[in-house]
Amino acid sequence: MDVSRKANREDNEVTLQYKSLPEALAVEDLNEGNLKELLESVSRLEQTPSGAAELQRRINLFSECKRSEGETAGEFYTRLRHWLDRDIPPTKSPLHAPRQNGD
């Protein structure tokens, strides 16, 4: 195996992953916009009775999802999106359905 080819390939991958400052700022602006929209939809959800109940269940099950200090908009958006998309386990239901009396 030619080690220099592997090293060159790895260096090329690092170079391709590098973003210039304007590109990075554009991505961060896009993340800020996405986060703003998501937070607005969550606030609208809080104002409906069923939405408030669902958010409260999520808080009880998964704990509250707040932005940490130093967390970028993209990181928080991803974490909040995951928090909202997680499946809520079904509530316990009775083992047997209630019996119907033929009265």
Give the integer Cα–Cα distance in Å for 46 and 65: 14
Q: 27-64 b/e with 16+ CB inside 10 Å = b?
A: eeeebeeebeeeeeeeeeeeeeeeeeeebeebeeeeee
- Counting the structural domains of the chain, the total is 1
Give the integer Cα–Cα distance in Å for 21 and 36: 22
User: Does 93 reside within a domain?
Assistant: no
Q: Assign 94 a pLDDT band (cuts: 50, 70, 90).
A: low
User: Does 95 reside within a domain?
Assistant: no
Q: Assign 75 a pLDDT band (cuts: 50, 70, 90).
A: very high
User: Does 9 reside within a domain?
Assistant: no
pLDDT at 91 over 80: no
pLDDT at 84 over 70: yes
User: Does 62 reside within a domain?
Assistant: yes
pLDDT at position 8: 67
Which residue segment(s) compose the domain that 35 sits in?
20-85
Mean per-residue pLDDT, 2-10: 64
pTM summary value = 0.64
pLDDT at 1 over 60: no
